[in-house]
């Protein structure tokens, strides 16, 4: 099922070459799971989109949420209502500007909304767990960009280019000071002695929507949670490890291959299973 795309509410397949998203990565995106044609955690995605736009000086129209909902309705009208799960990607760019970094305040943004088929995972990684690797590529420390999903993803692209085997499903990346941050497409958690740990993301990385849900659910369940700066050595003593995002929900990690090719292994643990179940009850699975 090929993706269908709207640009500024119209069925289009291309943008002008002067678009600032192409020229400078001046834009944002959100990837949202649709369950029975309903966007999961819609308000959380919209709030992060608006916060990111403010950070990047992208002036959003007051009715941006209504425009996006209208786009979604148009896209869904072209698809079978029986499609259970789909992927909605929203991209906002600062629009088309002239040469140079400065932009005219009156330049309108570009709004791109794409609907795609939900990926199929025949190896059932949510049940069986995955193998990951530590990446050599590092993330730059940039607090003014931390947390948001801006279009500058070259660091993740380079990290993902470090392996080609399908046996490895994700790569874990550190910052330039050697602290764990996230996966190339996911957020990272691990457990030790009943305590849940995750890297703080105030210096770099993306504050994923599912990450925030996991934090909330852990607090509701009374699971101790620590966010901080941790080196990769913290994983050596972990009892269980998992990664998460809006499409995969939670994937347990059962093996990690270090840069020196040494390996660490874990079982799928009870805290991981508990959080998977709680997310599933909220329509995230």
pLDDT value at position 82? Answer: 57
Looking at the fold, whether 104 and 157 belong to one and the same domain comes out as no
Q: What is the mean pLDDT of the chain?
A: 95
pTM of the model: 0.95
pLDDT value at position 8? Answer: 97
Q: What is the CATH classification number for the domain harbouring 138?
A: 3.20.10.10
Q: Tens of pLDDT along 36-91?
A: 899 999 999 999 999 999 999 999 999 999 999 999 999 999 876 557 899 999 99
Looking at the fold, whether 110 and 133 belong to one and the same domain comes out as no
Q: Which residue range forms the structural domain that includes residue 42? A: 4-117
Residues in CB range of 210: below 8 A, 6 or more apart: 41, 187, 244, 245, 246, 249, 250, 279, 284
Catalytic residue among 30, 31, 198, 240, which? 31
Q: Give the burial class of 106: count Cβ atoms within 10 A of its Cβ; 0-12 exposed, 13-18 middle, 19 or more buried.
A: exposed
Looking at the fold, whether 243 and 161 belong to one and the same domain comes out as yes
The β-bridge relationship of strands 249-257 and 130-139 is: parallel
How many separate domains does the chain show? Answer: 2
Catalytic residue among 30, 91, 93, 149, which? 149
In the numeric block, which tokens belong to residue 179?
């602290």
Looking at the fold, whether 38 and 175 belong to one and the same domain comes out as no
* Catalytic residue check, 149: yes
Q: What is the CATH classification number for the domain harbouring 64?
A: 3.30.470.10
Separation between Cα atoms, residue 135 and residue 141, nearest integer Å: 16
Separation between Cα atoms, residue 2 and residue 62, nearest integer Å: 32
Looking at the fold, whether 83 and 129 belong to one and the same domain comes out as no
Catalytic residue among 170, 182, 184, 198, which? 182
- 237: β partners: none
Contact call for residues 153 and 206 (beta carbons, < 8 A): no
Residues of the chain with pLDDT below 70 are 1, 80-82
Looking at the fold, whether 198 and 265 belong to one and the same domain comes out as yes
Looking at the fold, whether 198 and 95 belong to one and the same domain comes out as no
pLDDT value at position 177? Answer: 98
* Catalytic residue check, 207: no
């Amino acid at each position: 099922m090929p993706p269908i795309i709207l640009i500024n509410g119209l069925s289009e397949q291309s943008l002008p070459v002067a678009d600032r998203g192409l020229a400078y990565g001046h834009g944002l995106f959100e990837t949202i799971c649709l369950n029975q044609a309903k966007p999961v955690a819609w308000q959380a995605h919209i709030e992060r989109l608006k916060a990111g736009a403010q950070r990047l000086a992208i002036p959003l129209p007051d009715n941006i949420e209504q425009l996006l909902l209208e786009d979604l309705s148009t896209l869904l009208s072209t698809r079978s209502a029986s499609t259970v799960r789909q992927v909605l990607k929203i991209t906002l760019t600062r629009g088309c500007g002239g040469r140079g970094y400065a932009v005219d305040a009156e330049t309108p943004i570009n709004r791109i909304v794409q609907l795609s088929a939900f990926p199929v995972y025949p190896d059932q990684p949510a049940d069986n767990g995955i193998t990951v690797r530590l990446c050599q590529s590092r993330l730059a420390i940039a607090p003014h960009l931390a947390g948001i999903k801006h279009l500058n993803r070259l660091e993740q692209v380079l990290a993902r280019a470090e392996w080609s085997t399908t046996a490895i499903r994700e790569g874990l990346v550190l910052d330039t000071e050697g602290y764990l941050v996230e996966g190339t497409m996911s957020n990272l958690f691990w457990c030790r002695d009943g305590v849940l740990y995750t890297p703080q993301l105030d210096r770099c990385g993306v504050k994923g929507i599912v990450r925030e849900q996991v934090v909330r659910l852990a607090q509701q369940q009374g699971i101790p949670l620590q966010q901080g700066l941790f080196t990769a050595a913290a994983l050596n003593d972990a009892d269980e490890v998992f990664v998460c995002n809006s499409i995969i929900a939670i994937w347990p990690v059962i093996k990690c291959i270090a840069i020196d090719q040494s390996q660490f292994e874990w079982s799928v643990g009870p805290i991981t299973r508990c959080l998977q179940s709680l997310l599933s009850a909220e329509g995230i699975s």
